[in-house]
Amino acid sequence: MNLEELLAFAGRNQLLSIALVGLTIAIIVNEVARLFRGYKALPPAGLTALVNRDNALVVDLRPIADFEKGHIPGSKNVQMSQFDPENKQLAPARALPVVLVCKTGQTAGTAAKRLKKAGFEHVHVLDGGIAGWQQADLPLVKGRAKG
């Protein structure tokens, strides 16, 4: 296919051409935004490695009832309504890796931006949230967190 045929196709299928250009722009914008957001998405297997290797703090932002039904072993529950980078559980971890967990990963992204603004150096969001953790067949513990 040469340029002439491509332009002829685009002329005959304007709606498809506009949709292709729009999707391409949206993908580029999304990828550029991802580069500058200041935190990293972490796959479930990466979370276990980070906790074992670097003593990462895992912060679960879900409501207490959801947390008690099942959470990542060793995670701390901090309600999003009470989320503050100066929180007594968070502030001492400023130099440690911090991994934020929510139901699907969306809420954790908002909290991650706040931590980065507050000077936290190593901020991660669990990719896919607790749902991604469960899909990877990784264990959850029930009940209240100790400590």
The answer to whether residue 147 scores a pLDDT higher than 60 is: no
In this structure, which topology does domain 39-135 adopt according to CATH? Oxidized Rhodanese; domain 1 (3.40.250)
Separation between Cα atoms, residue 17 and residue 126, nearest integer Å: 36
> In the prediction, which pLDDT does 67 show?
95
The answer to whether residue 146 scores a pLDDT higher than 60 is: no
Separation between Cα atoms, residue 113 and residue 144, nearest integer Å: 27
Count the alpha carbons within 13 Å of 137 in the hemisphere toward its beta carbon. 0
The answer to whether residue 136 scores a pLDDT higher than 50 is: yes
> In the prediction, which pLDDT does 90 show?
79
pLDDT in tens, 80-111: 888 888 877 777 788 889 999 999 878 898 89
The answer to whether residue 138 scores a pLDDT higher than 80 is: yes
- Contact call for residues 41 and 32 (beta carbons, < 8 A): no
Residue 66, burial from CB neighbour count under 10 angstroms (0-12, 13-18, 19+): middle
pTM above 0.85, yes or no: no
pLDDT in tens, 58-69: 999 999 999 999
The answer to whether residue 2 scores a pLDDT higher than 70 is: yes
